[in-house]
Amino acid sequence: MTQPSQSSSDLTTLSFEVMPPRKENLIKPFWDTVQRLLSVTPDFLSVTYGAAGQDRHSARDVVRSLVQDSPVQPIAHLTCVGTTATEVGEVVSDYLDAGVRTFLALRGDPPVGRPDWQPAPGGVSSATELVTLIRSIEAARCAQYPGAALRAAFKPLTIAVAAFPAGNPAAGTSPNQEVERLLVKQSAGASFAITQLFWETDTYVNFLEKARSNGVTIPIVPGILPPTDIKRVNRMTELTGVVFPEYLRRRLESAQSVEEMYSVGVSLGARLARDLHEVGAPGIHMYTFNKAAPALDVLDAAGLVSASHLDPSISR
């Protein structure tokens, strides 16, 4: 298996996914978590949108605040399930007005209990269509407003999409089919991809090799979930269909306490992050579920951030 080369750890991006708070009493803990994540100066934070856009208003508030009040580049998630093209266009324009320059275009999950869901007439049916729509809205703004065109020249719009190295069991697709889908997204105007979670380095490397040999040239950033909580791992297996390897499960389940399980999970996550870095991954994207400690501890143990990068005044 050929491994791509890695030139310098300084060139590896670090990023985190956060979920906007759904209740008022979660707002302060959410921003405390964000501040802890910012202590390692990530390249960006991605902000989820919720199933069928259910966190739409909270997400926009979070993204606006990050644009205005933080040094980090926010990535605004967008989903198209359950919305018309007009509604999606309004959200895109609102984000662009707020200064957002990066989106993560996703189809999103169908409504609960409707696995055979199909978009209504006038809806956006896929992430590829969503990428095309975002590009068209930006092009129209640049054509109409000279200032928008100038801003786009020195701060281009970038659009991320999802990639599925293990295939997408929920959609019944194989890794080869997901390479084909990624190539279509790239042709529509995707700038880079962030992967669904996976548990073994070879899963990423094999997918990357297939993607490159089939003409995918955009960066593919691996997404990692720290396996510090077996209940969380089991839940993500249910949601994604991506199987947690039995030998890793035995490692976690052999722990004699919650603290030991956490330590084992950090070690497993750190090894994956370190191995991905060594095979040349362009960055590491951490799925946090709004918990800073597991993500930061994994990156620290992997040697991708040092103690000097962690703000000593902030408890993780």
E strand spans, 196-301: 220-221, 223-224, 283-287
Token pair listed for 216? 């995918």
Q: How many CB atoms lie within 10 A of CB 83?
A: 22
Question: Which of 17, 129, 138, 178 is the catalytic position?
Answer: 17
- 180 as an active site residue: the answer is no
Cα–Cα distance measured from residue 129 to residue 195, given in angstroms and rounded to the nearest whole number:
19
User: Residue 61 — φ and ψ, nearest 5°?
Assistant: -65, -45
**Straight-line distance from the first to the last Cα atom of the chain, in angstroms, rounded to the nearest whole number:** 38
Measured over the CA atoms of residue 174, residue 179, residue 180 and residue 185, the dihedral's sign is positive
The amino acid occupying position 188 is A
Any idea what DSSP says for residue 84?
B
Strand 220-221: give its sheet, edge to edge.
Answer: 220-221, 192-195, 158-163, 102-106, 73-79, 44-47, 13-18, 283-287, 223-224
Token pair listed for 26? 């979660």
Cα–Cα distance measured from residue 253 to residue 30, given in angstroms and rounded to the nearest whole number:
29
Active site residues: 17
